[in-house]
Amino acid sequence: MASNLGQSTGFVRPYTINTSSLLKRFVLPVMLGGLILNSAVAALPGRAQQSGPTSAEHTTVPSSQAEQSGLIKETIFCENLERESYTHLPQGFVRGHRLPLVLVFHGGFALANRMDRLTGFNDIADQNGFIVTYPQAFKHHWNDGRNIDGHDNFNDVQFAVEVIDHMIHKYNVDPSRVYACGISNGGFFAQYLALRQPHKVAAVASVAASLPTLIESKQPAVNPMSVLYIVGIDDPILPFYGGPLPKLFRDNGSVLPVSKAAQYWVRCNRCNPVPRSLDLPDVDATDGCRVKYANWVGGRHGTEVGVFGIEGGGHTWPGGQHYASESTIGKTCRDINASKAIWDFFQNHHN
């Protein structure tokens, strides 16, 4: 794959959004129906039926629900608000051993304690010996730097810092090996956190999220940061080739092409401008997806930038649960496991 995923790779084609179709197929169900992802994940085997939020108001998830998921509820006070994160300790956890920490940020209007069902991150933590925590956004949406009305009044960056400090104090987490990732709104926020608090995280990953154009124009990257993108080229929500995000009651902003988002970090890190690239094996010939990978290395302090571009992939977590109909969110790639790929990327970096 050439250095620009959007050029000279066979990926070039016009990308247009049918707003009317999206309102019917995705935005209205998400905004008005309490989030498809929550209801679908709640109905998975092994989980009792539970209703998702019926509005964008803040909802504290009952402790019993977190316990059923094998999660520990953390209570964090931030700016006079009581907030939560849900933690999974790896099998064989011994208090006092300094382990890495991965923060996993949910998508917009979702619930933190259901993220493992989507991502399978608990299993990856057990296999590799790190702690994972799932913070909960206030009003179920992260303030990710896009300045969306109604979601820009909460200092989620400070909340994330408080979560990290809480985990260091309570579980003796290694502060040099703290990482952040997320999907969609959570993927935008992981990058925003890296820009605002670069000394708090060693690397970040964004699934189904590029870089908001507002961030590029107003928040130049200064500190080196290893960044991984995992994005479906046929995502019906996130335009792989850049452009406006779907609108409903408000302007949700626009995003850079994934190729340009990668270059934003490549320039900051001063990576080699020519990537190493490869086509990954078609492990599951029935998923309708193929994966291409580009990796820019040689950055300051050992930083790198990676992009998994998934031909046929949708607004989904590769290798994770398919949480809504294919007509709504597109296909889920089975050729890679996003959570494993993210950890494989993270473990090479530290502050």
Q: Which DSSP category does 300 fall into? A: G
C-alpha distances in Å from residue 222, one per residue of 46, 264, 265, 307, 350: 45, 10, 9, 20, 17
The string of pLDDT tens digits covering residues 253-268 is 899 999 999 999 999 9
In this prediction the pTM is 0.83
Q: Does domain 19-346 have CATH number 3.40.50.1820?
A: yes
- Strand 290-296 relative to strand 305-311, pairing: antiparallel
Count, in order, helices (H) and strands (E) of the chain.
12, 12
Closest to 266 in 3D by CA, of 229, 214, 315, 309:
229
Q: Distance between CA atoms of 294 and 228, rounded to whole angstroms?
A: 10
- Which bin fits 26, alpha (ψ -120 to 50), beta or left (φ > 0)? alpha
Closest to 1 in 3D by CA, of 206, 208, 229:
229
> What pLDDT, on the 0 to 100 scale, is given for residue 250?
59
Answer yes or no: are the C-beta atoms of 237 and 214 closer than 8 Å: no
Which residues fall within 8 angstroms of residue 350, CB to CB, at 6 or more apart?
174, 176, 177, 202
Angle between helix axes 338-346 and 121-128 (nearest 10 degrees) is 40
> What pLDDT, on the 0 to 100 scale, is given for residue 148?
65
Q: Which amino acid is it at 86?
A: Y
Answer yes or no: are the C-beta atoms of 19 and 26 closer than 8 Å: no
Q: Distance between CA atoms of 86 and 67, rounded to whole angstroms?
A: 9
> What pLDDT, on the 0 to 100 scale, is given for residue 248?
59
> What pLDDT, on the 0 to 100 scale, is given for residue 46?
33
> What pLDDT, on the 0 to 100 scale, is given for residue 99?
98
> What pLDDT, on the 0 to 100 scale, is given for residue 286?
97
- CB-facing half-sphere around the CA of 212: CA atoms within 13 A: 24
Q: What strand order describes the sheet that includes 81-88?
A: 72-78, 81-88, 131-135, 101-105, 178-183, 203-207, 226-232, 305-311, 290-296, 276-279
The string of pLDDT tens digits covering residues 33-56 is 233 344 343 433 333 333 333 333
Which residues fall within 8 angstroms of residue 103, CB to CB, at 6 or more apart?
85, 132, 133, 134, 135, 160, 163, 164, 178, 179, 180, 181, 190, 201
Q: Which amino acid is it at 224?
A: P
Structure token pair of residue 136: 């909960």
Residue 263 CA from chain centroid, whole number: 19
Answer yes or no: are the C-beta atoms of 117 and 103 closer than 8 Å: no
> What pLDDT, on the 0 to 100 scale, is given for residue 69?
60
Q: Distance between CA atoms of 206 and 232, rounded to whole angstroms?
A: 12
Residue appearing with tokens 């290694």: 174
> What pLDDT, on the 0 to 100 scale, is given for residue 240?
97
pLDDT beneath 50: ranges in the chain: 1-4, 6-68, 249
> What pLDDT, on the 0 to 100 scale, is given for residue 45?
33
Answer yes or no: are the C-beta atoms of 295 and 305 closer than 8 Å: yes
